[in-house]
């Protein structure tokens, strides 16, 4: 099992917290461990302004991930996405987080290997926007598919699962709590390995919390409040002995995890290299198998790593058009990037029958829309009826064997599942439950648009394979 060791370097309030990632970075490098330092863009800019070359040099021995550009400073990520439609939200991610990525590259000499959610401040446009600024993955994402520990969502490679020492940083600084927590952590990692998980994060902690007993943002950025630097509230600080104990126990934890059987610690940058790009060729037979599985399933599933539901619909549309021309077929088809629809598709309330010509013109409209926008259409019109992608996918999966044989007959399009089966639960868990749990979020954070786009983008969700 592959384990990425990751730290959230984020304290914008206590200037002496700068020393802590330096100490951790040096200690782990001495042990030959490459961790992933998830650094806030503003934190790196503060190091630069303060001339902290020692910190920059120690951190740059490790992999660097962008822990958002400004973390808990309002508006946070969920707050600035809350009122946005899809395209505006993606553009805002590109604008705000792109700045953070460029600053990390300039200051630390590495373009970030990943983008890591700050607290629970996430939105479905994050993966798409960070992909556009050239960041190859996301960590701590609110989406999940399959059991590898990695998935594709909105065209981005996403890692969601991670474990950490029970009791967190307070337990590092307390021998008794540490001795209790370490075996529990090791057992949890072992369970994941036995369950066949391909990769998992090991959350090393927030460096600042080895020194400060309370989160910097809980005191200064809680519930939508912004505090100016002259009014900062400072947290209670641990003595040097407790701090040194925390570092020692962190080192012991990493050593203990390294000794586990069949476990390898690597950086997120190295892990990204273990995931093949998302466009493996698919043969006509394989597509037939996917279509047959989908036609027999009562739900729209996101469990197949070959194609997301959106990619399957696109592949079928293109296959229908190619087969209908009747000329020589290519040996295989290439899945491509296809995002979910940008707004809620209409509900189909009664079935209708379309002839072969109508079905093929719907396929043509589908493929043309994806060519132009990289999104599934919200609906396709036939005989004055708007058909959403759910019912259309089902009718194509059923008609696939006939189009291959050149015997396309009138096909029925029926009411049925409108969205992938995980859409509802991911929106409930990843938006309605998790976002309000993060106390810096403003209490009047609107969740409806975030939840809608979360559901719609489940069309682009599928497990990612590791090699």
Binding site for Zn ion (CB under 5 A): 8, 10, 118
Where in 287-414 does DSSP place strands (E)? 332-333, 352-354, 380-382, 385-387, 411-413
- What phi and psi, each to the nearest 5 degrees, are found at residue 332? -150, 170
State the minimum distance, in angstroms, from the CB of residue 141 to Zn ion: 14
State the minimum distance, in angstroms, from the CB of residue 217 to Zn ion: 8
SS3 of 95, please? Answer: helix
Q: How far apart are CA 287 and CA 399, in angstroms?
A: 13
Reading the block at residue 120, the tokens are 């629970």
Closer CB to Zn ion, 91 or 219, in the complex: 219
State the minimum distance, in angstroms, from the CB of residue 238 to Zn ion: 19
Closest residue by Cα to residue 460 from 60, 156, 72? 156
- What phi and psi, each to the nearest 5 degrees, are found at residue 65? -120, 150
State the minimum distance, in angstroms, from the CB of residue 445 to Zn ion: 17
Closer CB to Zn ion, 35 or 337, in the complex: 35
Closer CB to Zn ion, 205 or 345, in the complex: 205
State the minimum distance, in angstroms, from the CB of residue 47 to Zn ion: 16
Would you call 464 exposed, middle or buried from its count of C-beta atoms within 10 A (0-12, 13-18, 19+)?
buried
SS3 of 36, please? Answer: strand
Closer CB to Zn ion, 8 or 42, in the complex: 8
State the minimum distance, in angstroms, from the CB of residue 118 to Zn ion: 4
The length of the chain in residues reads: 467
State the minimum distance, in angstroms, from the CB of residue 266 to Zn ion: 22
Reading the block at residue 324, the tokens are 């209908």
Closer CB to Zn ion, 8 or 103, in the complex: 8
State the minimum distance, in angstroms, from the CB of residue 71 to Zn ion: 6
Q: How many CA atoms lie within 13 A of 368 on its CB side?
A: 8
Closer CB to Zn ion, 70 or 398, in the complex: 70
Reading the block at residue 361, the tokens are 């013109």
Four-CA torsion 47, 49, 53, 58, nearest 10 degrees: 10
**Cβ-closest position to Zn ion:** 8
Closer CB to Zn ion, 20 or 359, in the complex: 20
State the minimum distance, in angstroms, from the CB of residue 72 to Zn ion: 8
State the minimum distance, in angstroms, from the CB of residue 283 to Zn ion: 44
Do the Cβ atoms of 310 and 285 come closer than 8 Å?
no
Q: How far apart are CA 150 and CA 114, in angstroms?
A: 13
Closer CB to Zn ion, 139 or 291, in the complex: 139
Closer CB to Zn ion, 118 or 460, in the complex: 118
SS3 of 444, please? Answer: coil
Q: How far apart are CA 104 and CA 100, in angstroms?
A: 6
Instruction: Find the helix packing angle between 284-296 and 389-405, rounded to 10°.
Output: 130
State the minimum distance, in angstroms, from the CB of residue 258 to Zn ion: 25
Q: How far apart are CA 69 and CA 316, in angstroms?
A: 40
Closer CB to Zn ion, 43 or 52, in the complex: 43
Q: How far apart are CA 178 and CA 167, in angstroms?
A: 8
Q: How many CA atoms lie within 13 A of 409 on its CB side?
A: 4
- What phi and psi, each to the nearest 5 degrees, are found at residue 74? -85, 140
Closer CB to Zn ion, 118 or 379, in the complex: 118
């Amino acid at each position: 099992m592959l384990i990425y060791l990751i730290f959230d370097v984020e304290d914008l309030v206590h200037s002496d917290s700068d020393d802590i990632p330096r100490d951790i970075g040096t200690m782990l490098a001495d042990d030959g461990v490459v961790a992933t330092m998830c650094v806030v863009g503003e934190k790196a800019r503060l190091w630069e302004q303060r001339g902290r070359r020692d910190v920059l040099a120690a951190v740059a021995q490790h992999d660097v991930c962008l822990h958002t550009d400004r973390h808990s400073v309002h508006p946070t990520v969920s707050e600035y996405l809350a009122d946005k439609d899809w395209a505006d939200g993606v553009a805002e991610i590109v604008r705000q987080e792109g700045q953070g990525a460029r600053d990390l590259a300039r200051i630390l000499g590495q373009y970030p290997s990943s983008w890591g959610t700050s607290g629970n401040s996430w939105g479905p446009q994050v993966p798409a926007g960070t992909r556009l600024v050239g960041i190859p993955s996301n960590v701590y994402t609110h989406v999940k598919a399959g059991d590898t520990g990695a998935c594709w969502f909105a065209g981005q490679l996403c890692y969601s699962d991670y474990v950490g020492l029970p009791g967190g940083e307070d337990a590092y600084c307390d021998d008794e709590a540490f001795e209790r927590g370490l075996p529990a952590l090791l057992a949890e990692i072992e369970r994941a390995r036995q369950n066949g998980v391909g990769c998992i994060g090991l959350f090393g902690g927030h460096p600042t919390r080895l020194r400060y007993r309370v989160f910097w943002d809980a005191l200064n950025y809680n519930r939508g409040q912004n505090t100016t630097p002259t009014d900062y509230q400072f947290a209670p600080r641990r003595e040097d002995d407790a701090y040194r104990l925390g570092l020692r126990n962190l080192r012991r934890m990493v050593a203990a995890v390294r000794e586990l059987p069949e476990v390898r610690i690597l950086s997120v940058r190295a892990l990204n290299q273990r995931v093949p790009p998302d466009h493996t060729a698919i043969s006509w037979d394989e597509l037939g198998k996917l279509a047959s599985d989908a036609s027999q399933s009562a739900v729209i599933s996101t469990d197949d790593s070959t194609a997301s539901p959106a990619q399957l619909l696109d592949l079928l549309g293109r296959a229908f058009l190619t087969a209908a021309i009747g000329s020589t077929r290519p040996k295989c088809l290439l899945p491509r990037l296809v995002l979910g629809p940008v707004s809620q598709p209409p509900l189909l309330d009664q079935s209708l029958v379309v002839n072969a010509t109508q079905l093929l013109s719907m396929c043509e409209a589908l493929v043309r829309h994806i060519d132009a926008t990289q999104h599934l259409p919200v609906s396709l019109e036939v005989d004055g009826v708007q058909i959403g992608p759910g019912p259309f996918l089902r009718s194509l999966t059923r008609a696939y064997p006939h189009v291959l044989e050149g015997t396309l007959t009138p096909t029925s399009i029926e009411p049925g599942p409108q969205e992938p089966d995980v859409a509802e639960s991911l929106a409930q868990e990843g938006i309605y439950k998790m976002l309000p749990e993060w106390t810096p979020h403003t209490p009047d954070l609107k969740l409806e648009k975030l939840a809608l786009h979360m559901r719609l983008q489940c069309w682009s969700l599928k497990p990612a394979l590791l090699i």
